[in-house]
Amino acid sequence: MELTIKRFDELTVHELHRIYQARMAVFVVEQHCPYQDIDGDVDLHSWHVFAHDEDGIAAYCRVVDAGVTFNETAVGRVLTLRRGQGLGALIVREGLRVARERAGADTVRIEAQSYAQGFYEKLGFTRVSDEFLEDGIPHVEMIWHAEAD
């Protein structure tokens, strides 16, 4: 398994295509949620972090620059296509490392699907909002601080 970290303008056309395929497969098709995954220019202001091998992308997240979606650096679009292998935790930890080392962040904000709150708490996140609907799916905002890692 190889880990790749790139800014949007460093991605090859094929990498971007595979990223969008993975995001569409999970967030639109699997979750039965028709929404606009390519959300304005957020991808343009993000680090794209993905674990992959000869079979394609296995896990992905994006680390969004502070000030684009939140005041803080954000981690979002977290997905795994091969479940039960620890790839979710691996990709989130890598996203947090990228946030610290490349974006200089000591605080990271996420909008987590509510069912995944416990998963993120195990990784050091704390819930900071009431539950809300995002594209018809219950979410909560959560914060991670570097000292929690």
CATH number at residue 109: 3.40.630.30
Give yes or no for a contact between 105 and 73, defined as CB atoms under 8 angstroms apart: yes
3-state secondary structure of 115: helix
What is the CA angle 103-147-67, rounded to 5?
30
Residue 33's pLDDT band (cuts 50, 70, 90): confident
Q: Cα separation of 125 and 108, whole Å?
A: 9
CA distances from 131 to 28, 61, 94, 140, 144 (A): 21, 22, 26, 5, 18
Amino acid at the residue 117: Q
Place of tokens 């992308």: 57
56-64 and 126-127 beta bridge pairing: unpaired
Q: What is the mean pLDDT of residues 39-50?
A: 94
The whole domain housing 25 covers: 2-148
Give yes or no for a contact between 25 and 81, defined as CB atoms under 8 angstroms apart: yes
pLDDT for position 147: 79
For residue 148, pLDDT beyond 80: no
Residue 39's pLDDT band (cuts 50, 70, 90): confident
Q: What is the mean pLDDT of residues 86-102?
A: 97
Residue 90's pLDDT band (cuts 50, 70, 90): very high
| Confidence (pTM) | 0.94
Q: What is the mean pLDDT of residues 111-122?
A: 97
For residue 149, pLDDT beyond 60: no
Give yes or no for a contact between 84 and 42, defined as CB atoms under 8 angstroms apart: no
pLDDT for position 6: 98
What is the CA angle 104-110-114, rounded to 5?
160
**Domain tally for the chain?**
1
